[in-house]
Amino acid sequence: MATDVLRIGTRGSDLALWQAHWVQAELRRIHPALTVTVTIIKTTGDRVLDAPLSQIGDKGLFTREIEHALLAREVDIAVHSLKDLPTRLPAGLMLGVVCEREDVRDAFLPHPANPVRRLLDQPRGARIATGSLRRKCQLLNLRPDLSIIDIRGNLNTRMKKLEASDWAGMLLARAGVVRLGWDDRIGESLDPLAILPAVGQGALGIEIREQDPEVAALIAPLHHPDTAAAALAERALLRRLEGGCQVPIGTFGRMERTGDGETELVLDAMVGSLDGRTVVRGQRRGSAGRPDTLGSDLAEELIAKGAGVILDAIRTGTVDPPPGDAR
């Protein structure tokens, strides 16, 4: 890269651009002499809109083309929603920075004509939209009477679909809704332990080339150690479970104070069947200095409790094919 220019690669959705422009503004604030530009790159996930993500694969759907540009030195960094970034990165690339996490919770957005604001207060048989197997599984586990509608598209598209529908409402990640200024549309923010979030939800990841110390130094001030520890534990769990869009997996890492005033990393996780009838949950606590170990250990615990059977059934097709995706 030129010493005075940094090029950001990003998707072109409103949310992705909000995230890239936030990073751009922060880097300009930290490095006033640095020129920071944004390059929009269309990904497979942006192009294929007529099929559930779980049916078209999940490895790098929203990152692959941006990573190609990064490796080709067409851009210098890639800004991602961390939940879109696969746990195994292409050779030559690395996760350079994890930015401070926004609100990790999912949110229920009721239809504008629906006066019932809380998710679990919806009437029997209510139609709830989500593009996420993770949300669908956990919601059906709590309310098997609900009817789940699959939905695709960026946040603007989903909002328009909701307004034109007869649905009771839809589920989205709260962070994205807030970033786009739609706080007033939220009926309820869900307890993250009742419906566990996606891996990395609410956090931004900045991907860079491995052998690029100059870039690494420029973005280093954006790194948030507590968020990184939590996210790395979540990603280690997902990597061990080999999960993705086809498998309902939720997890929530965070730093908590112990009774003696120390701080520890706490990780909750779940693996569930596609119909929500079977959900395996677990929790581990440990040192923030070993997030990978904490995540992989919890994954092993879940497998021992029966998650392995669930995962094998989904992967071998001994259950109905998944109708949505895990995002």
Q: Enter the pTM of the model.
A: 0.90
**Any catalytic annotation for residue 292?**
no
Write down the pLDDT at residue 316: 82
* 46, 58, 84, 268: the active-site residue: 84
Write down the pLDDT at residue 133: 93
List, run by run, the mean pLDDT of 10-residue segments along the chain (327 residues).
86 95 98 98 70 55 91 97 93 98 97 97 98 95 97 91 97 96 96 97 98 96 98 97 83 93 95 96 96 97 96 78 35
Domains and CATH numbers, the chain: 5-101+203-223 (3.40.190.10), 106-189 (3.40.190.10), 230-315 (3.30.160.40)
Write down the pLDDT at residue 327: 32
User: Are residues 131 and 157 in contact, defined by beta-carbon separation less than 8 angstroms?
Assistant: no
